[in-house]
Amino acid sequence: MKSHVWRPLYVVLVIVALVLVARTVLVPADFGIGSRGYMYGWHRAGNEQQWKDVKVKYKTAQYCVNCHRDKYDEIRLSPHAAIGCENCHGPALGHPEDPKTLTIDRSRELCARCHFRLEYATSGRGKIRGINPKTHHPELDCVTCHWPHDPRKEGHQP
Amino acid sequence: MISRRSFCKKTLLVAGGLAVPLSALELFDPRRLLAEKDQKAPRWVFLVDTHKCVGCGFCVKGCKVENEIPYDANVTRTWVERYVITKDGRTHVDSPLAARDGFKSSSIDIGHGKFQEIGEGEIDKAFFVPKLCNQCDNPPCVQVCPVGATYQTEDGVVLVDRQWCIGCGYCIMGCPYGVRFFHPVHHVADKCNFCYHRITKGMNTACVDSCPFGARKVGNLRDPEDPVTKAVTTERVNVLKEEYGTKPQVFYLGLSKEVK
């Protein structure tokens, strides 16, 4: 058969070869079918480790108690026992070295997350003692009168 | 010329062969057998107790900080919805700022900066429902990904490969629960991954650790002693949008029919 008949075939073969070469260069070596099969597990295996390596920022009260045993014991015996340290003090991150100080939130808005009174009898919210922040001493910080580590005690004195 | 004996033999052989069900010819998949037998690989699931949630939003704050989701952008991996059902039978739902700062008003945020005041006497029932990725056993978001950037790990968590995602947004459209969003910094699809960096270290997710009321729990369904497994197998739990066939793995206690 004449060469002009074969020529398009050569062109196609060259294109296929180029695609295959490009594929080996561009697709990572660990790309493949994972344990969940072709439909759900087709991925780059190295990415799982990348997600595992994300930095842990909230280290929980079990980390804080190593140095702040007194504070930990006080709040654990108070009506605020369930609240974690980092909810108000911010994530521990590399504390105490980095950051040296934590982002302590003493705002009225923080307390109002739970203590803004909502009359929802069918929800746990309705069982929490609450106030209306607009009428309940709007000019003061909550911590002026209420000690957050034990709300039965009086707050910060200036 | 076929003999009578050979005809009978062949007929019996063909009829017998046709009678063997196709499933009998399925070869044993050693990996599947191992997965069913070996209880070591976890299957992460989530349990939400809507009775306990008070809508403080500490979970949303904790999630955003832990997972570096831009704090003031209107995107989040988890959020809390408030449902107020009034005596006229209407359902009012809102989630201002995804409840990042809790619920600071008794009126319902109906969007466009407008609020609807609901009197105390009108309320039939009101409650809060936290939402997050369901880590479905049949994840539609994974099926629609054209490049293999989103996938399910062996322990059931659906992850997004940020280097491989092209940001086409099919998965954001494909999720019936609306848990996916476009990350404004990385320009890829993003979603809750049960704090994969925490649960694989034996910790709880950031939202579980920041919830003061125990409304959220993460557990391993393959561990029969896990309190979450015990609750899922013995208590009356429900899932969201079961009719979609996605087999969601976030279980809810006290789910009301108004919750979609």
Per domain, the residue ranges of chain A are 3-52, 61-145
CB neighbours (10 Å) of residue B244? 14
Contact A57 B142 (CB under 8 A): no
Looking at residue B38, its pLDDT comes to 58
Mutant choice from B153, B155, B183, B211 vs A, greatest count of A C-beta within 10 A: B153
Looking at residue A154, its pLDDT comes to 82
Q: Spell B85-113 as b/e; 16+ CB within 10 A means b.
A: bbeeeeebbbbbbbbbbbbeebebbeeee
Contacts of A47 in chain B (CB under 8 A): 159, 161-164
* Domains with residue ranges and CATH for chain B: 44-136+192-253 (3.30.70.20), 140-190 (3.30.70.20)
Residue type, B142: V
- What letter does residue A56 receive in the DSSP assignment? P
**Model ipTM value:** 0.88
Judged by CB atoms within 8 Å, which residues 36-65 of A form the interface with B?
A: 36, 39-44, 47-48, 50-58, 60
Q: How many helices (H) and strands (E) does chain B have?
A: 8, 13
A99 touches chain B (CB under 8 A): no
Rounded to a whole number of angstroms, the distance from the CA of B3 to the nearest CA of chain A is 50
B255 touches chain A (CB under 8 A): no
Contact B53 A53 (CB under 8 A): no
A136 touches chain B (CB under 8 A): no
Q: Where do runs of H (alpha helix) occur along B38-165?
A: 58-66, 140-144
A114 touches chain B (CB under 8 A): yes
pLDDT tens track for A52-95: 999 999 999 999 999 999 999 999 999 999 999 999 999 998 88
In angstroms, the Cα distances linking A7 to A12, A13, A118 are 9, 10, 80
Contact B120 A120 (CB under 8 A): no
Compute the half-sphere exposure of residue B80: CA atoms within 13 Å on the CB side of its CA. Answer: 28
Alpha-carbon torsion angle B227, B230, B232, B236, nearest 10:
-110
**Does residue A30 contact residue B135 with C-beta atoms inside 8 Å?**
no
pLDDT tens track for B23-63: 676 666 766 666 666 557 899 999 999 999 999 999 999 99
Cα-Cα end-to-end distance for chain A? 101
Looking at residue B72, its pLDDT comes to 95
CA distance B71 to B254: 30
| pLDDT band of A157, cuts 50, 70, 90 | low
Nearest CA in chain A to B106: A118
Nearest CA in chain A to B193: A51
**Does residue B191 contact residue B179 with C-beta atoms inside 8 Å?**
yes
CB neighbours (10 Å) of residue B239? 15
CA distance B188 to B192: 13
B86 touches chain A (CB under 8 A): no
* CA Rg value for chain B: 24
Contacts of B66 in chain A (CB under 8 A): 56-58, 91
Name the nearest CA neighbour of B203 among A86, A79, A68: A86
> Is pLDDT above 70 for B127?
yes
Rounded to a whole number of angstroms, the distance from the CA of A102 to the nearest CA of chain B is 14
**Does residue B132 contact residue B207 with C-beta atoms inside 8 Å?**
yes
CA distance B155 to B100: 29
The count of CB pairs under 8 A between chains A and B is 139
A128 touches chain B (CB under 8 A): yes
* CA Rg value for chain A: 30
Mutant choice from A38, A42, A43 vs B, greatest count of B C-beta within 10 A: A43
pLDDT tens track for B70-86: 999 999 999 999 999 99
**Does residue A83 contact residue B210 with C-beta atoms inside 8 Å?**
no
B93 touches chain A (CB under 8 A): no
pLDDT tens track for A4-48: 888 899 999 999 999 999 999 998 989 988 888 889 999 999 999
CA distance B168 to A86: 37
B167 touches chain A (CB under 8 A): no
Nearest to A123 among B127, B149, B203 (CB): B127
- What residues contact A28, with CB distance under 8 A and at least 6 apart? A44, A46
Burial class (CB in 10 A: 0-12, 13-18, 19+), B36: exposed
Nearest CA in chain A to B137: A40
Mutant choice from A51, A86, A115, A117 vs B, greatest count of B C-beta within 10 A: A51
Contacts of B106 in chain A (CB under 8 A): 118-119
- What residues contact A92, with CB distance under 8 A and at least 6 apart? A57, A58, A59, A63, A64, A85, A86, A102
| pLDDT band of B21, cuts 50, 70, 90 | confident
**Does residue B246 contact residue B134 with C-beta atoms inside 8 Å?**
yes
